[in-house]
A and B are shown apart, each in its own frame.
Chain A
Amino acid sequence: MNTAAPALELVDVRKSYGPIEILHGIDFALHAGEVHALIGENGAGKSTIMKILGGFVPPTSGEVRLDGKAAPYTSGAEAEAAGVVVIHQEFNLAADLTVSENIWLGREIGGLFLDHKAMRRGTQALLDELDCSIRPQTRIRDLPVSDRQMVEIAKALARKARVLIMDEPSAVLTHRELEVLFRQIERLRSQNVALLYTSHRLEEVTRLADRVTVLRDGAVVRRAARGELTEDGMATAMIGRDLQDIYPPKRHHAGEVALEVRGFSVPPLVQDISFALRRGEVLGISGLIGSGRTELAEGLVGLRPASGEILRNGRPVTIRSVRDSASHGLAYLTEDRKERGLLLDKTLRENLTLANLSRFGTPFLSDTREDAALTKAIADFDIRAPRRDMRVGNLSGGNQQKLLLAKTLLSDPEILIIDEPTRGIDVGTKSQIYAFIDVLAAEGRSVIVISSDMPEILGLSDRVLVMRQGRLAGELSGERVTETAIVRLVMGTSEDVGEEPAHV
């Protein structure tokens, strides 16, 4: 497709952290006007490669070449000036600043004084282009993760890149935003931008990628052009073994009602939600970003002020804090692992046991027991950590997510609410996690899965609730759980225009 010198290239790049080598001699090239997908298991080294390309991390040995010459940058900022822009897997936004301030950070418009108007206008234009309803003056702190991802994308687009590197931009996006993102990617490709894309959703790779590079344990194991690899082939190349259907067969038989919610509201958005959850059941909750699924879940476990009735095994209960909800056997896995899920400065062990410390000894905590729990979690969830005593912030994104799952499940909950459980997790591990959920249900526990990943909802749920603008838009079960049915409810195709406008 392209014979000119690659826009950006890695030549025999190695990277070590301390004594551990993460990347073992990577050769890798990006060409203008092409989408190159980099795939691999969690911890394979994708983000590290992207950081090296973007100038954020120096390679231990080897070379980065821009247009065939040694790259003239040594920092992310310089790389950006050279037209190499990265959308990071972990958010790179200042939470106290507004959307607009973040987007222009480091390249503000204006002379001595900032031109707020121009920047706000520019931000609005970018957001419009992304079909995104966030307001430019909102503080990042007040945005849900999905919106933050859109801000990240907008920020990158504002940079006018000639090489755009995207590290799992789609992990937190729903169907609708995803389409917007793909349109942008296609537009950039046609403008001769070189694009690097990574995602654990292989169907996206099939759809977008002109070239695919498969990484395993820090080495390239396969290179392919468009159409050379099926999704199954990619998965096999990534994890080194064949992968059957990743979803477990649905064979749950629902028992009695474990949790019932009546007229539940979480101001300001979520209104009047009622549903029942049975033992042994997996209940999916679908909806657009901002439809209030997270609010509902956080209201249920006492993280947000809420009103309405909650019945546990038929008896009304009051839940005002996470502790209350834990005492009623409820556990919630947050969608926001960086800000609400994990202590990035602490080690794996401290994170794993934080929510269930009382089990590890009173009054003195037992290191041995904690270490044993960690060993088990590492095995159960296939957490790949170069060192057990490393900061969690240095784990790869997917491995952080696995640790978060392990942390949530440690409390052995009767009812588990998981918000975007497999965000950023590779296909191999995904199937393990699905099997895990299946086991939980088979043991007679109840699971609520909130997910923006349609196949996940379809593959896991016995029943699906769909939320729209803070209300229940409908419920589907059995045969009626199909993609079209869900999408229709999600979008509100009944077109009842009289309803209140979208909240912001």
Chain B
Amino acid sequence: APAAAQGKKVVIGVSIPSATHGFMGGLNWHAQETLKRLKATYPNLEFVLATAGAVGKQVNDIEDMMATRNIDALVVLPFESEPLTSPVKSVKDAGKWVTVVDRGLSQAGIEDLYVAGDNTAFGRVAGEYFRANLKPGAKIVVLRGIPTTLDNERVDAFTAAVKGSGIEILDMQHGNWNRDKAFSVMQDYLSKHQQIDAVWAADDDMAIGVLEAISQAGRQKEMWVVGGAGMKEIVKRIMNKDPQLPVDVTYPPALISAALEITALRFVSDTPVYGRFIIGSTLITPDNAAQFFFPDSPF
């Protein structure tokens, strides 16, 4: 029988990266909201939340949860996959429940539960949209995130998807998932390239900066922009059929909520919850945008 059902306190550790950019901010918000809700619903559950700004700090957090907070389960969104693999494995080896969110560990079979978005799909869905909506010979520019494995996965999938379509990728620079940086990179793209038909901004925060740079240059009519993740501001504009922002690709920060809820379920009920939950990336279009719009989320 589940521990919490017998009245025993269960401590669940939650370790996520801190809110350093839009997507993570949204994820932090969803995590905290879900924790509030779960605590109210299940008084026997106790949560320990730690946010880390660097990979080393996250390993420290997990160690601290083990050493001082006697956690029974760990929900972790690894800052980076490789370095978190051994520390999470030692949690597992100590007999704890492990839920891994979003970024998989580099070794299979450690986690009990895996809830993730699909980075490859994220890039591919966007790429396919470009392929379908641009003529051969069209020129596009790409803004990448912070150099990381997941950024590589997304970009590789995107390039693979547009490959052979005759679409030319003029430039790919890092915008670091940051509005300001994306703004200046886009400004420079606009100075450099006379013809740009579309922009893959790869992230909604960057899309905001990109749109601003385009409107400053007065070239709104020439190109459209696709971001990613499903920020409410962007979804709203898609709902309103903004010609500059035809679609968006989801990568919902709410996936942390799913992970937390399923993990909690494991301790309060007899539901078997092992397995992998992959939350695919779907295309937000004006038609379906309403279902992706969360007006209360800060993201």
Given a CB threshold of 8 Å, the question of whether A touches B is answered with no
Interface residues of A (CB under 8 A from B): none
